[in-house]
């Protein structure tokens, strides 16, 4: 296989194996009309006929949004119903009232056995008025991971492919890379929370390379030119205003560019993990919004 084609294939497969550790996890696309599509991932757990979990829409895109999922499962009739009910976080700039939540029914569904989902959905705004309609096409993560492992073995046996390219198809490395919510320059991640306090944790998740950052909350400095280590630095932020804006600035790029720092938010209900990806002087912002 030509190197150019191989790299394209690896990029495509990488997008198809992210977050592949849940038994009831599916990844694919949402299709709206004839031309609009975006990545879509669901992670669901069934207990006594009740469904809980979450979805991530536009994974890695500028409108990436994580939503809670609730629903029901009829084991006798093999019928799965689930709906998105609230936003955990989003990178989109539209207001909370303008989000369209998907409602989905899947027939002939069996947990841990169904490998593919291809069904229609209808969308509702928060006030239950209709919005978009479309289709979701998903594959189980087990199926995708098995396919990737098969390809990986073939590539690793090839003598015509360099070790640098082989290392890029290591399933574990690809999953680790894609297992993060990336915070990029001039981007705002909005987190919706009903909590009065948020625990903010920062640390270097890999090899310490001297990355330094400054963090402020509503203009008040929390740390300035702080060198991030593997040891976690924890802050408790009181959520008093309707919006609490946390600004993260890269003061350098350490020994290995760019500036990458793991940032975690825990409000007691949701635990959100993100990774900064910034050049020196660049900033990214996280807004904590009081959920309605």
Tell me the pLDDT tens digit for each residue of 260-286. Answer: 999 999 999 999 999 999 999 999 999
pLDDT tier at 15, thresholds 50, 70, 90: very low
pLDDT tier at 163, thresholds 50, 70, 90: low
Which domains are assigned to the chain? 3-141 (2.40.128.30), 180-290 (2.60.40)
Selection from 11, 12, 44 nearest residue 28 by Cα: 12
Mean pLDDT of the chain: 85
Backbone angles phi, psi at 237, to 5 degrees: -110, 120
Q: What is the helix (H) or strand (E) element at residue 150, kind and residue range?
A: helix 141-157
Q: What is the helix (H) or strand (E) element at residue 165, kind and residue range?
A: helix 163-168
User: pTM here?
Assistant: 0.79
**What are residue 284's DSSP bridge partners?**
248
CB 30 within 8 A of CB 43: no
User: Distance of CA 260 to CAs 11, 86, 171, 188, 291, Å?
Assistant: 21, 29, 22, 17, 29
User: Distance of CA 172 to CAs 14, 18, 123, 163, 240, Å?
Assistant: 11, 10, 35, 16, 41
Structure tokens at 72: 């029901």
First-to-last alpha carbon distance for the chain, in angstroms, is 53
Q: Which of 15-24, 81-90, 182-191, 211-220 has the lowest mean pLDDT?
A: 15-24
**Distance, CA of 284 to chain centre:** 17
- Exposure string of 100-121, with b = 16+ CB inside 10 Å and e = fewer, is bbbbbebeebeeeebeebeeeb
d(Cα 175, Cα 22) in Å, to the nearest integer?
Answer: 13
pLDDT at 96: 78
């Amino acid at each position: 296989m030509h190197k150019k084609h191989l790299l394209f294939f690896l990029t495509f497969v990488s997008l198809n194996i992210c977050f592949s550790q849940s038994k009831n996890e599916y990844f694919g696309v949402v299709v709206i009309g004839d031309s609009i599509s975006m990545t879509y991932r669901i992670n669901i757990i069934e207990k006594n006929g009740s469904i809980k979990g979450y979805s991530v829409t536009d994974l890695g895109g500028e409108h990436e949004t994580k939503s809670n999922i609730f629903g029901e499962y009829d084991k006798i009739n093999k019928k799965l119903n689930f709906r998105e009910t609230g936003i955990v976080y989003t990178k989109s700039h539209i207001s909370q009232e303008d989000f369209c939540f998907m409602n989905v029914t899947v027939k002939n569904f069996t947990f841990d056995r169904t490998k593919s989902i291809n069904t229609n959905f209808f969308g509702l705004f928060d006030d239950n008025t209709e919005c978009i309609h479309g289709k979701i096409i998903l594959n189980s993560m087990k199926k995708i991971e098995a396919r990737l492992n098969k390809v990986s073995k073939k590539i690793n046996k090839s003598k015509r492919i360099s070790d640098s390219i082989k290392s890029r198809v290591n399933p574990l490395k690809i999953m680790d890379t894609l297992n993060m919510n990336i915070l990029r320059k001039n981007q705002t991640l909005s987190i919706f929370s009903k909590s009065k306090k948020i625990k903010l944790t920062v640390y270097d998740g890999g090899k310490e390379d001297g990355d330094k950052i400054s963090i402020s909350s509503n203009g008040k400095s929390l740390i300035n030119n702080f060198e991030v280590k593997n040891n976690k630095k924890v802050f408790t932020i009181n959520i008093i205003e309707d919006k609490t804006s946390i600004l993260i600035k890269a003061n350098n790029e350490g020994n290995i560019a760019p500036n990458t720092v793991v940032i975690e938010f825990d409000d007691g209900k949701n635990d959100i993990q993100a990774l900064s990806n910034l050049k020196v002087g660049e900033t990214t912002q996280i807004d904590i919004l009081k959920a309605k």
